[in-house]
Amino acid sequence: MNGDFLSCDWGTTSFRLRWVAGPDRAVVREIREQAGVRSLYEEALRSGAEIEAARADVFARFLTRKLEALLAGKKTPEHQLPLVISGMASSSWRGQLAGQRIAV
């Protein structure tokens, strides 16, 4: 294992997803957007996602699309990359993704 991992810093007003590589923790690729937890939460409510599970699905679909974009065109890693999510993401998901695997 080479120490690569994915880092998702999802704040109230912004989203940052990084592929971090090797022992020197170099950022290989990065996606930054002004799609914070607040705007996605509001979008979920507008689309009729009134229960928590439906809102979590909106967040999971967004994250999956961003992971696909981050990994597009790169050689598929030989092992599954851990994903560390920090910031305000848990304020809307309440841990529903903890320990789960997201396939991309």
Q: Tell me the C-alpha distance between 46 and 64, whole Å.
A: 20
Instruction: Determine how many CB atoms are found less than 10 A away from the CB of residue 73.
Output: 7
> Tens place of pLDDT for every residue, the chain, 104 residues?
478 899 999 899 999 999 998 888 999 999 999 988 888 888 888 988 888 888 888 888 899 999 999 988 877 677 788 888 888 776 655 555 555 555 54
pLDDT of 59: 85
Reduced to 3 states (helix: H, G, I; strand: E, B; else coil), residue 5 is strand
Is residue 13 within 8 A of residue 91, CB to CB? The reply is: no
pLDDT of 102: 54
